[in-house]
Amino acid sequence: MRHLLSIIIAAVTISAACGHKEAATHKLITPIKFSEVTIDDGFWSPRLASHKDVTLKVCIDQIENQTGRIRNFENAAKGLGEHSGIYFDDSDVYKALEGMAYSLQNNPDPELEAKCDEWIDKFAAAQQDDGYLNTYYTLTGLENRWSDMGMHEMYCAGHMTEAAVAYYNVTGKRKLLDVAIRMADHMMSVFGPGKRDWVPGHEEIELALVKLYEVTGEKKYLDFAQWLIDERGHGHGTWVKWRQESYYQDDKPVREMTDIAGHAVRAMYLYCGMADVAAYTGDKGYMTALDSLWDDVVLRNMYITGGIGQSSRNEGFTTDYSLPNMSAYCETCASVGMVLWNWRMNQFTGDSKYVDVLERSLYNGALAGISLAGDRFFYVNPLESLGGHHRQAWYGCACCPSQICRFLPSIGNYIYGVAKDGIYVNLFIGNTASVKLGRRDITLKQETKYPWDGAVAVTIGCKRPFKSALRLRIPGWCNTYTLAVNGKAVEVPVENGYAVLNRRWHSGDKVVLNMDMPAEIVAADPRVKEDEGYRAVQRGPLIYCMEAVDNPGDYETLHLKDGLKFESAWEADLLRGVVTLAADVDGRPLKLIPYYAWDNREAGRMRVWIPLK
């Protein structure tokens, strides 16, 4: 595996939002923000419409009417009343607000914006005079704040900061941003060099502080993020509840980390924070550690769905190559975390292997976390069920519904990137994007029926011709493909998993990538004993599964055979439109559906890994 250290390049510059001096970054690729991308896609547009029309309303109703989450802020502002729910419930409100902000970018809605402002007023009113904001300790005893590293105070502050930056970027309104700044300044008045030591029990504040640095230009927030990361593994933890340093990624200094351990979501947020800090500091120790950790996660501890975290006991990792299916935890938040981390890794290196993992986690592990209707959610995503595992309308611990709420409308972030060596096309989603390449304004229009079909067309728009490389990702699942420019077949070099079309471009030039997308029977690593004698089926980026509802009769006797050929068929009226796979196995029909779509009909058994006979 390549090491990040060996391919880091000279710093380039990116623009920040408040008009301050541009900050230098060590990243190779700058992503094109979702705000510059208008999605018009047969697969994703209906999901974004469902998010706007259904998911947001579900989250708002749960926060305002069904639970006490927003009431906690109202009580904290008055200094009266009890705290209801879990001590970190503030974070769900912030994540939902972030999702509302993203939705406003592409779907302006005065009523939704007014709801955001109403919530922000409640947050601001609940903030203490010294900048502290956490409804649990405000209502249960401020004298106990900052006494237990496992109580998520900085985690909640991190999600508030992310929401504040998102809302500021979308609306230009500073009220919540100023609240976040005051909270960050409060934390820095208590913790830091020469002050109190501290290790946040649940990572998140680290990456949020880097976002605050980017939007304000205040380097003190970047420095504080790095200080918090460097605190880990030095014996500062006082874990009241668990007393397991590895669970919190606090058993060794981060630069010495080589193997994944502990809670999966915490680990993802830590690695994101390390990558974000390294983007500005060029910290080689961080990058070397991240490279080793990626190998351990992806090669030895990741499910075929891109899910991570084998055990419900620690919501995280156990031992290498131990990947049980029915008891797989694979928290939805962890799959989203895999998208966020691999997105950052790709920006450092320009290596498509990170986007391959991002795509796998996106279309399978994360997308399974929400029902097709947009109103029910998975917290846990097993790869086999006896029929008793179902999405729920909400959870007492509702991190996953609010996570999906903020994640889905940000999907445009992950499609493109720009670097000195050209434009990167990472994901295949129908859209029109505005791209700044040097001083040139370019448009890219992408048309595709992906993930159902492997044909992708990209049309260039520009005022004047320009010379640059267009780098199209050739996914790891793709064995054969063709490329054409303006109808003429071309053969081009492939670098780091990208087909590189380096030429002079004119407005109207059209590139067509055609990827063969057969159904394939795949085996697990032989060291994964739980999958010995079983096989899975993949078509393009999608993992398929069998549900009992499609396979009546003796479900247990259905199996796969080497060399089995599947017929793919588009079924518009099934599961809101899917390509199904069908085969005849010893005179019995076998039908498979995409894993993300399971448990959207009547209850029944499901499995991803199917016996091979």
Q: From the candidates 36, 113, 245, 315, give the one annotated as an active-site residue.
A: 315
CB 336 within 8 A of CB 399: no
CB 398 within 8 A of CB 410: no
Question: Three-state SS across 106-164?
Answer: HCCCHHHHHHHHHHHHHHHHHCCCCCCCCHHHHHHCHHHCCCCCCCCHHHHHHHHHHHH
CB 597 within 8 A of CB 575: yes
In order of 518, 549, 558, 568, the CA distances from 579 in angstroms are 12, 16, 20, 6
Nearest CA to 191 among 161, 240, 228?
Answer: 228
- Residue listed under structure tokens 């260039």: 460
- CB proximity list for 492: less than 8 A, separation 6 or greater: 483, 499, 500, 501, 502
Degrees, nearest 5: CA angle 573-579-583: 110
- Residue listed under structure tokens 């050209």: 422
Helix, coil or strand: residue 568: strand
CA–CA separation, 384 vs 382, rounded Å?
5
Question: Residue 451, preceding bond cis, omega within 30 degrees?
Answer: yes
Q: From the candidates 116, 399, 405, 462, give the one annotated as an active-site residue.
A: 399
DSSP tag of 268? H
Verify whether residue 116 is a known catalytic residue: no
Verify whether residue 405 is a known catalytic residue: no
CA–CA separation, 68 vs 574, rounded Å?
38
DSSP tag of 409? G
Annotate 303-336 with DSSP letters as a single string. Answer: -TTS-B--BTTTTB--STT---STT----HHHHH
In order of 23, 55, 276, 300, the CA distances from 260 in angstroms are 31, 33, 19, 10
DSSP tag of 2? -
The set of catalytic residues is 315, 399
